[in-house]
Structure 1
């Protein structure tokens, strides 16, 4: 499952959808050529198979179907937003990545409006796409910290286990990296609590260990425990099937090793 990094070059990656002055190019509607015939029922039934190990054309075909569907179950689900996030994360073109992420925001907003407000996954992928769409825009991010907090809090309340603890993981990182009061919502104690919960509930996900290690380092400077969590996470990353996520996640581990003065392997 996808995991967005909320910060780039130290800048908070959060924004209120629809904020005036933002560039929100639409991704062209419709399916790519050569896609297999699908039905809404079949796509919904098999949606868990669409993830970081899926081929890009498979994700594009599924997203194309969602774009053109008027099926109410599909429209109020998190699937379209999740597909956009997968595609945005693996696109090397910044402009294309931003367009996919904004489409993910729009699809999640549509899902909320059509009855998906009680689905924590919709809130989660809305916030994750927002962070990716404007990850380098600190001014807009700082003006909209509470929107991102609200969406992740809704996801934690409704569906804390989605994406192997993704809402716990990303809300924890938001509190870790955001400026503290009065400038922002940053709170090291909240970050530690959420990230420890992510590790305790979902110990098989490598980023839960990595992000908890980062919080331990930044809040408490706990060298031994930091190294233990990093080792546990790296072992999971090396032995698991993480698809397109594996390479960027390895870089995340390398970045923290460099930060704490550990040799990069």
Structure 2
């Protein structure tokens, strides 16, 4: 046991040393040598996999992560759309398209029309496979995309909420997806929707889902952000502030990228001001 402890200590020391060495390797790149990818204009028809739906979808899925630049997400969407056009019956391809479409739509702040167009691509891709018990991951991405569209319609979208709720209930089968995504999104639906009898809103249910999310998936800032919002509504301001502090410390650009780090920390600061007033 003592030997194991010594070995782990050496590993930790070595890791630190490696980190310091890598810092020394870092050198500035001259502007003349920088190459910016042509995410928006590159001709994807020149790719040797242009007619291979599976390969295109695999690359699109790899490219599209939260921390990716917006242009990279758009390029991933272009690949995913082509993959889906080649094979509209492929479940995995449609799922990738729905996922990528959401991440593009979610990163559009200044043009509601373009946001809805991207989200609608995701909704249609999900519907093409089926919002059923057999497709819990598809149900999650359907709910995300439909949720973005619904958010812009206000009271006119109340009739869409039961379908989103149903999809998210199915998605609980894969609650680990997106670090507790199905839990926090269903919780947010219950938090923001109008309460009974006009809607499905339920603060107690929201608190229950958020509590599970932060306990089981403590790596995602939004789990704590959403829980804090619900705690604020429940007049538990001290716990809300504790969760916001955790969310702020997690929302670093090194993990989530500059866009989401700035967006989430801005939302956290706004909620803190709301609690203080």
- Which TM bucket (shorter chain)? 0.7 to 0.9
Q: Distance in 2 between matches of 1:254 and 1:37?
A: 47
Q: CA deviation at 1:174?
A: 0.9
Aligned counterpart, 2:140: 124
1:140 aligned onto 2:156: yes
Q: Distance in 2 between matches of 1:239 and 1:245?
A: 7
Aligned counterpart, 1:235: 249
SS at the partner of 1:161?
coil
CA offsets 1:112-170 (integer angstroms, 9 cap, x no match)? 17xx75221210111111111232212332222211111111111x2111111111001
Change (3 A) 1:218 1:193: same
Change (3 A) 1:103 1:44: closer
Q: Distance in 1 between matches of 2:261 and 2:214?
A: 19
SS at the partner of 1:182?
coil
The TM-score, its normalising length taken from structure 1, stands at 0.78
Q: Distance in 2 between matches of 1:108 and 1:190?
A: 26
Change (3 A) 1:163 1:174: same
The TM-score, its normalising length taken from structure 2, stands at 0.75
Aligned counterpart, 2:187: 172
Aligned counterpart, 2:99: 82
Aligned counterpart, 2:11: none
Aligned with 1:94 (options 94, 112, 118): 112
Q: CA deviation at 1:32?
A: 6.0
Q: Which runs of 5+ in 1 are unaligned?
A: 1-30
Q: Which runs of 5+ in 2 are unaligned?
A: 1-39
Q: Distance in 1 between matches of 2:55 and 2:233?
A: 45
Aligned with 2:237 (options 223, 228, 232): 223
Answer yes or no: is the 8 Å Cα contact 1:75–1:110 preserved in 2. no
Q: Distance in 1 between matches of 2:103 and 2:146?
A: 13
Moved more, 36-45 or 172-181: 36-45
Indicate the structure (1 or 2) with the bigger Cα radius of gyration: 2
Answer yes or no: is the 8 Å Cα contact 1:98–1:134 preserved in 2. no
Change (3 A) 1:66 1:41: closer
Tell which has more relative contact order, 1 or 2 (C-alpha 8 A, sep 6+): 1
Aligned with 1:63 (options 80, 89, 109): 80
Task: Count matched residues.
Answer: 228
Q: Distance in 2 between matches of 1:146 and 1:84?
A: 22
Q: Distance in 1 between matches of 2:93 and 2:58?
A: 15
